[in-house]
Amino acid sequence: MKSFEYQAASSVGEAVVRLQQAKGTGVPMGGGTDLVGLMKNRVVNPELVVDLKVVDSLAYIRRQDGGFALGAATTVADVQFSAELGTDYPLLRKAASLVASQQIRNQGTVGGNLCQRPRCWYFRNTLTPCLRRDGTYCSAVLGENKYHAILGGAGCFIVHPSDLAPALIALDARAKITGPGGSRVVPMEEFFVLPREDLHHETILKTDEILEEVQIPAPMQGAKQVWLKHRIRQVWDFAILSVACQVQVRGTAVSDIRLVLGAVAPAPWRCHTAERLLRGSALTPENVDRAIAAELAKARPMTQNAYKIELAAELMRQALLG
Ligand SMILES: Cc1cc2nc3c(=O)[nH]c(=O)nc-3n(C[C@H](O)[C@H](O)[C@H](O)COP(=O)(O)OP(=O)(O)OC[C@H]3O[C@@H](n4cnc5c(N)ncnc54)[C@H](O)[C@@H]3O)c2cc1C
């Protein structure tokens, strides 16, 4: 690990000023469960690390505008064990409870989970070329790509590793971003970027900005909420594929739906096509299969990951019809 300066931030304002002064050589840190490994492997080599976990005012779960607000330094375990959140957002509680292991959930923060870097083994190994780092090509194209993207890849084929991200997008959450010029709030879906928009970053954050808060509106009334995660080991493992959905049915037809896939694309994948086809239709197996097929028609599998198309279809079927 290269030597660096450590700064325990006393406030969000101080954190932002220190990052601004570092002119792109500083990084914020939550629990450090991802960042420290990246620094040890010299994938990320900051001159300044600004610790946000010690900012007391950044760890909270509170009621706000009929929904909830979560401070970025709230731990994943706090989300997992919050009775209030669990009542309104069972899909978020389930997603949080299946992140990694209890030790990592105790240490890892909501901000860090959403801003964690890709798990692609070529990205994390500085000896292999990687377009996202600073290489001239993506090693996964002709290499080991069974866990890589089937949707949204363009030059780079990472999948976004966060479990909280698809769950929060299905809940229509927003991200409050704070930088030197103040704060802005964006839909969580727009917080993440695909390689065709930015090849080197997974979020819209600038180097002197932090994710300060996640805002979750009240859930859709009477909606079914589902979180499904397929992984190889049953504990301590990232998703091979996940599905988050909120679906509201009035009478016999779907009145509202938000359907999101995890681990299929470089950003959480909102299934806009399937949602459009299902809105106003009955949740019959035929309608569901038609909507899923239309969504997955966009998939472009690599040499080893075509299985993800059938896996995605099956998990979506279970989520919508189960
Ligand atoms: C063995 C293992 C298994 C795992 N399995 C899963 C899993 O199944 N599902 C899953 O979702 N995750 C999984 N993870 C990832 C784990 O959840 C993350 O490491 C953790 O959530 C990151 O939180 P942190 O607070 O420690 O982040 P840090 O390591 O502190 O930071 C991660 C990144 O986010 C940035 N960052 C942190 N906070 C902010 C902020 N507020 N604003 C802007 N940028 C910020 C940092 O600069 C850094 O780039 C696993 C990790 C390991 C090691």
Q: Whose CA is nearest to atom 50 of ligand 1?
A: 100
Q: Whose CA is nearest to atom 33 of ligand 1?
A: 116
pLDDT of residue 233: 83
Contact 152, 194 (CB under 8 A): yes
Ligand 1 centroid–CA 34 distance in Å is 5
Hey, where are the domains in the chain? Answer: 5-51, 56-115+159-216, 224-321
- For 105-163, what is each residue's pLDDT tens digit? 999 999 999 999 999 999 999 999 999 998 999 999 999 999 999 999 999 999 999 99
Q: Which residues of the chain have pLDDT under 50?
A: none
User: In sequence order, what are the beta bridge partners of 70?
Assistant: 61, 214
In short, whether 236's Cβ falls inside 6 Å of ligand 1 is yes
CA count, 13 A, side-chain hemisphere, 155:
16
Ligand 1 centroid–CA 6 distance in Å is 18
In short, whether 115's Cβ falls inside 6 Å of ligand 1 is yes
**Do the two domains 56-115+159-216 and 224-321 of this chain adopt the same fold?**
no
User: In sequence order, what are the beta bridge partners of 241?
Assistant: 230
How many residues belong to the chain? Answer: 322
pLDDT of residue 191: 98
CA 241 to centroid of chain Cα atoms: 12
* 3-state class (DSSP) for residue 8: strand
In short, whether 111's Cβ falls inside 6 Å of ligand 1 is yes
Ligand 1 centroid–CA 107 distance in Å is 9
pLDDT of residue 56: 84
Q: What fold characterizes domain 5-51?
A: 3.30.43
Q: Which atom of ligand 1 is nearest to the CA of 29?
A: 30
Ligand 1 centroid–CA 32 distance in Å is 7
The pick from 1, 18, 29, 169 for probing ligand 1's pocket by mutation, whose C-beta has the most ligand atoms within 8 angstroms, reads 29
Q: Which atom of ligand 1 is nearest to the CA of 27?
A: 47
Find where tokens 């279809």 sit: 313
Its CATH class, for the domain covering 224-321, is alpha beta
pLDDT of residue 236: 81
The whole-angstrom separation of Cα 201 and Cα 204 is 8
In short, whether 30's Cβ falls inside 6 Å of ligand 1 is yes
Q: Considering the domain 56-115+159-216 in this protein, what is its CATH number?
A: 3.30.465.10
In short, whether 7's Cβ falls inside 6 Å of ligand 1 is no
Question: Do strands 48-51 and 26-29 pair parallel, antiparallel, or not at all (unpaired)?
Answer: parallel
